[in-house]
């Protein structure tokens, strides 16, 4: 059996990963968090849940969340965000601009880094900030 939550990398290995890898994982973490939140707070059908989730997971929304919470982040967390934001990514989704997409990548990088480095309490704190 595969253990999907087996985060066996030590912190030094996590630090050596590309910020785009952190963002890749963070995207999944955030998407699952939002989907679970919506299922737990709504009786909507799947299509409506999808439409609602887009309001949270689109680049503009993530960029705005990062702006809202950045003064509550530690220096190390801000550095992780900066590294994610400044990493060259040659993909730009529709309905977004370069600045929003860069900041959303920084936000996702932070979530992925916290998840991979097993900083679950801090990850939960930050995710809860996203809803207020």
- Is residue 95 one of the residues assigned to a domain? yes
3-state secondary structure the chain: CCCCCCCCCCHHHHHHCCHHHHHHHHHHHHHHHHHHHHHHHCCCCHHHHHHHHHHHHCHHHHHHHHHHHHHHCCHHHHHHHHHHHHCCCCCCCCCCCHHHHHHHHHHHHHHHHHHHCCCHHHHHHHHHHCCC
How many beta carbons lie within 10 A of that of residue 51, not counting itself? 10
- Is residue 2 one of the residues assigned to a domain? no
pTM equals 0.91
Measured distance CA(116)–CA(14) in Å, rounded: 7
Measured distance CA(58)–CA(85) in Å, rounded: 16
Could you list the residue range(s) of the whole structural domain that residue 53 is in?
A: 11-129
- Is residue 5 one of the residues assigned to a domain? no
The pLDDT of 57-80, averaged and rounded, is 96
- Is residue 48 one of the residues assigned to a domain? yes
- Is residue 32 one of the residues assigned to a domain? yes
The answer to whether residue 58 scores a pLDDT higher than 80 is: yes
pLDDT at 10: 87
Q: Is 27 a catalytic residue?
A: yes
- Please answer whether residues 62 and 107 qualify as being in contact, where contact means their C-beta atoms are separated by less than 8 angstroms: yes
Tens-digit pLDDT profile for residues 85-102: 998 776 766 777 888 889
Task: Indicate the number of domains in the chain.
Answer: 1
pLDDT at 71: 96
User: Domain containing 53 — which CATH number?
Assistant: 1.10.1520.10
Tens-digit pLDDT profile for residues 8-48: 888 899 999 999 999 999 999 999 999 999 999 999 999 99
Q: Which residues contact 131 (CB under 8 A, 6 or more apart)?
A: 37
- Is residue 6 one of the residues assigned to a domain? no
**List 6, 10, 27, 79, catalytic entry:** 27
- Is residue 16 one of the residues assigned to a domain? yes
Q: Which residue has the tokens 């969340």?
A: 65
| Structure token pair of residue 110 | 């932070």
């Amino acid at each position: 059996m595969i253990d999907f939550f087996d985060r066996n990398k030590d912190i030094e290995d996590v630090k050596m990963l590309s910020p785009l890898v952190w963002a890749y994982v963070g995207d999944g973490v955030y998407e699952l968090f939002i989907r679970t939140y919506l299922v737990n707070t709504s009786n909507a059908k799947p299509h409506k849940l999808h439409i609602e989730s887009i309001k949270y997971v689109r680049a503009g929304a993530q960029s705005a969340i990062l702006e809202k919470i950045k003064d509550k982040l530690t220096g190390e967390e801000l550095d992780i965000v900066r590294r994610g934001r400044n990493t060259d990514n040659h993909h730009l989704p529709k309905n977004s601009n370069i600045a929003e997409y860069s900041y959303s990548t920084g936000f996702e990088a932070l979530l992925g880094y916290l998840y991979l480095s097993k900083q679950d309490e801090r990850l939960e704190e930050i995710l809860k900030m996203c809803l207020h």
